[in-house]
Amino acid sequence: AQTVTQSQPEMSVQEAETVTLSCTYDTSESDYYLFWYKQPPSRQMILVIRQEAYKQQNATENRFSVNFQKAAKSFSLKISDSQLGDAAMYFCAYRSGIQGAQKLVFGQGTRLTINP
Amino acid sequence: SQTIHQWPATLVQPVGSPLSLECTVEGTSNPNLYWYRQAAGRGLQLLFYSVGIGQISSEVPQNLSASRPQDRQFILSSKKLLLSDSGFYLCAWSHRVFSTEAFFGQGTRLTVV
């Protein structure tokens, strides 16, 4: 079974600085998708960024970018120019690309604090 | 556009009482549906998922069950709640084919007393 590991329970960063959140995963599959979700205090789950395993180019969404290392099974999230509104729990997630395998597996999360 | 509704937002139930949480999706058809539980300060644990009416896959042996009586309706139930059932429950959906991410409801905070 696939597993997702986030080794940083908590992280903090100064406003306007850059922070990187780590994620590793374990799978024997070659076709899959990886995600970062944000959960603010409202607890609404918000998709931040998505990466297809078959794409070598790292995904970017404005201030958010990933470092996808397929061989190392690593998928880190970089937040540039951190803002107070970025404070939240961040979850890394994995989904198989196999047709019919629809589960989305989450890591334990990293709580990000932004210091003004 | 697609929307997902989950209710109630909060619920306080005594031990041994039944539970029914409902989730509905609008604006799409044949969605994959999911129930997750999140303990305080923890990650999301997948409880059940469904790829079609009456098709339920259970991930964790527990005191809960799920049903999908209609294409866009997903219900989480229990006959007798335990203290350990307390938590934050999230319903989610994803497209069967066209997309890969899941879209989440607002969640239900369940406290068993």
With helix as H, strand as E and coil as C, how does chain B read? CCEEEEECCEEEECCCCCEEEEEEEECCCCCEEEEEEECCCCCEEEEEEEEECCEEEECCCCCCEEEEEECCEEEEEECCCCHHHCEEEEEEEECCCCCCCCEECCCEEEEEC
Contact (CB<8Å) A45/B101:
no
pLDDT number for residue A97: 81
A104 to chain B, any CB pair closer than 8 A? The answer is yes
Whether A37 shows a pLDDT value over 80: the answer reads yes
Mean pLDDT lowest among A82-86, A108-112, B20-24, B93-97: B93-97
Nearest residue, CB atoms, B101 vs list A35, A44, A103 = A35
Cα(B35)–Cα(A88) distance, integer angstroms = 22
**Which pLDDT score, from 0 to 100, does residue B98 have?**
59
Q: For the residues A23-45, what does the mean pLDDT come to?
A: 93
**CB neighbour list of residue B30: distance below 8 Å, 6 or more residues apart:** B52, B71, B96
Using 70 as the pLDDT threshold, list the residues of chain B that sit under it: 61, 98-99
Examine the pLDDT at A9 and tell me if it is beyond 90. Answer: yes
Give me the mean pLDDT over the A50-62 stretch: 93
Q: What does pLDDT average to over chain A?
A: 93
For residue B52, the distance in angstroms to the closest alpha carbon of chain A comes to 11
